[in-house]
Amino acid sequence: MNLIEQVYCRVYQFAFKVAIPVLPYRNPEILNAVDRIPQVLKKKEICSVLLVTDQSIRSLGLTQHLEEILKENGFALAVYDGVEANPTVKQVEEARKLYLENDCQALIGFGGGSSIDCAKAVGVLIARPEKNLEQLGGILKVHKKTPLLFAIPTTAGTGSETTVASVIVDPETEHKYAIMDFPLIPDYAVLDPETTRTLPKSITAGTGMDALTHAVEAYIGNSTTKQTRRESLRAVRIIFHNLEKAYEDGNNLKARRNMLRAAYLAGCAFTVSYVGYVHAVAHALGGKYNLPHGQTCATMLPYVLEAYGAKIYPQLKALSIAAGLCEMETDEALAARTFIKAVKDLNRKLGIPEKVKELKQEDIPALAKTAAKEGNPVYPVPVLMDAKALKRFFYDVMA
C-alpha cells in the first residue's frame, strides 16, 4: 500500500479510536438461563412478547421450554419462525406485522446470528415506522430507542448477542447491507448451554473458531481499550480450555456454558475494537462460494497471523500466555510461533480444512479487491495491506 493510502487509513482509524470513550457502547446484561426471562419481563411490566426464530430450531424443540414458561407465567406470546440464513426484508416485515397485531412490547431473538439479526431489525422498524429498512442501513441512522430485546444465541460464536449490527438481504435488488447503531445492542444476552446442546459438531467447531478469531483480531488491532484487551484475553483462555471438550462431547454442558461466555466476551471486544483481514478475506470467500463463516475464518487465521510478522509478536505472546501455551519468560518470537502453531493444531483436531478447495485462481483478483474494500480504511489492522498484498492469502489457501 502506498504512503498516502496508509496515512489516510491510519487517520481514519485514529478518529474512530478517539471517539470510543464518548460513544454509547454497552455490554448486554447476562442471564444464565432461559428461566430468568419471565422474572425480567415482570419487573419491566411487559405482558406480551414476540419470539423470533427459525423453523429448524423450533422443530428441534429448542424453544419449547421458553414457550412453556412464558405461557405458564401468563405472558402473551407470538412466534415468528420464518427466519432463514441471511434474514430478508420480507421476513423482517412479516415478523413486524405479528409484533403489531399482537400488541407486543418486547422481542426475543432465538437462534444463530440470523434470528437475532432479524429480531434487531424488527425492533428498528418499530422504533422508526416512518422509514424502510434500506433507508436505515448504514451507520447511526436509527438513533431512537428500540423495544426491549433478549438475544438467545444457539451457536457459541457469532457474537450477534453483543453487537450493534443487523445484516439484512434484499433478494429483489441482491443488496446485502448492515444496519449499525447503538440501540441495536441487545438488552439481555441469555447464555444458556441447553440451547447449544444439539449443535452439530462441525457448527460447534466453526462457530467456536469464529469466536477465537473475533478475540484475536480485536486484540492485535490498533483500536483496543483496557476493557477489550481484557475481554479478548479471557475469551482466548476459555476457548483453548473448552472448545475441544465441547466439540468432543456436545453434552458437556460446562464446556458449552464456557464457550457461550467466550463468544460473548469476544463479541463485546470486537464490537468496540473491530476485526481485521481474517474477516475481510473470509467474507470475500464466503460471499463468492457460500462457505460457512466460522470455518473459513479458522482456515485463514494462521496464515494472516504469520503474515503480520514481528509487528504482533508482543500481542501473540500475551495471547499465548492467556491460552496457557507459554510463560512470561518465554522468548517473544517463540511464544508467537507457539500460538500460531496451536491455532493450526486446534483446527486439525476440530476437522477444519487447511485449504479452501472451492477457490479458483481466476477469481483471486476480484476476491482480493472485495477483501480490501471491506478492510480498508475501517479495520485497525496491525499491518496495512492493499488488494495486491491481500492476494497472497488466497494463494495460501488454494488447494
**Nearer of residues 82 and 292 to Zn ion, judged by Cβ:** 292
Q: Which of 152, 107, 155, 117 is nearest to 137 (CA)?
A: 117
* CA dist., res. 150 & res. 58, Å (int): 17
Piece of the chain touching Zn ion by CB under 5 A; list 145-153, 202-210, 368-376, 381-389:
202-210
**Nearer of residues 210 and 244 to Zn ion, judged by Cβ:** 210
| Site size with Zn ion, rule: CB under 5 A | 1
**Nearer of residues 38 and 276 to Zn ion, judged by Cβ:** 276
**Nearer of residues 210 and 374 to Zn ion, judged by Cβ:** 210
Piece of the chain touching Zn ion by CB under 5 A; list 7-15, 203-211, 311-319, 329-337:
203-211
Piece of the chain touching Zn ion by CB under 5 A; list 137-145, 171-179, 207-215, 333-341:
207-215
Q: How far is the CB of 162 from Zn ion (least distance, A)?
A: 12
* CA dist., res. 97 & res. 362, Å (int): 45
Q: How far is the CB of 297 from Zn ion (least distance, A)?
A: 6
- Residue pointed to by grid coordinates 487509513: 9
Burial class (CB in 10 A: 0-12, 13-18, 19+), 18: exposed
Angle of helix 277-289 versus helix 387-396 axis, rounded to 10: 70
**296-320: b (≥16 Cβ within 10 Å) or e:** bbbbbbbbbbebbeeebbebbbbbb
Angle of helix 293-308 versus helix 201-220 axis, rounded to 10: 30
Q: Establish if 210 lies at the interface with Zn ion (CB under 5 A).
A: yes
Q: Which single residue brings its beta carbon nearest to Zn ion?
A: 210
**Nearer of residues 38 and 153 to Zn ion, judged by Cβ:** 153
- Residue pointed to by grid coordinates 438467545: 152
Q: Establish if 54 lies at the interface with Zn ion (CB under 5 A).
A: no
Q: How far is the CB of 269 from Zn ion (least distance, A)?
A: 12
**Nearer of residues 88 and 213 to Zn ion, judged by Cβ:** 213
Q: How far is the CB of 27 from Zn ion (least distance, A)?
A: 18
**29-50: b (≥16 Cβ within 10 Å) or e:** eebeebebbbebbeeeebebbb
Q: How far is the CB of 51 from Zn ion (least distance, A)?
A: 25
Residues 6+ apart with CB under 8 A from 98: 50, 78, 79, 80, 104
**Nearer of residues 218 and 385 to Zn ion, judged by Cβ:** 218
Q: How far is the CB of 307 from Zn ion (least distance, A)?
A: 19
**Nearer of residues 257 and 293 to Zn ion, judged by Cβ:** 293
Piece of the chain touching Zn ion by CB under 5 A; list 6-14, 162-170, 181-189, 208-216:
208-216
Piece of the chain touching Zn ion by CB under 5 A; list 129-137, 143-151, 206-214, 329-337:
206-214
Sign of CA dihedral 262, 264, 268, 274: positive
Residues 162-201 that bind Zn ion (CB under 5 A): none
Q: Establish if 161 lies at the interface with Zn ion (CB under 5 A).
A: no
* CA dist., res. 75 & res. 70, Å (int): 5
Residues 55-114 that bind Zn ion (CB under 5 A): none
Q: How far is the CB of 266 from Zn ion (least distance, A)?
A: 9
Amino acid symbol at 268: C
**Nearer of residues 224 and 296 to Zn ion, judged by Cβ:** 296
Q: Which of 348, 359, 369, 347 is nearest to 399 (CA)?
A: 359
Per-residue contact string for residues 259-298; x = within reach of Zn ion by CB under 5 A: ----------------------------------------
Q: Which of 318, 112, 275 is nearest to 203 (CA)?
A: 112
Q: How far is the CB of 293 from Zn ion (least distance, A)?
A: 6
**Nearer of residues 92 and 275 to Zn ion, judged by Cβ:** 275
Q: How far is the CB of 358 from Zn ion (least distance, A)?
A: 19
Amino acid symbol at 366: A
Binding footprint of Zn ion on the chain (CB under 5 A): 210
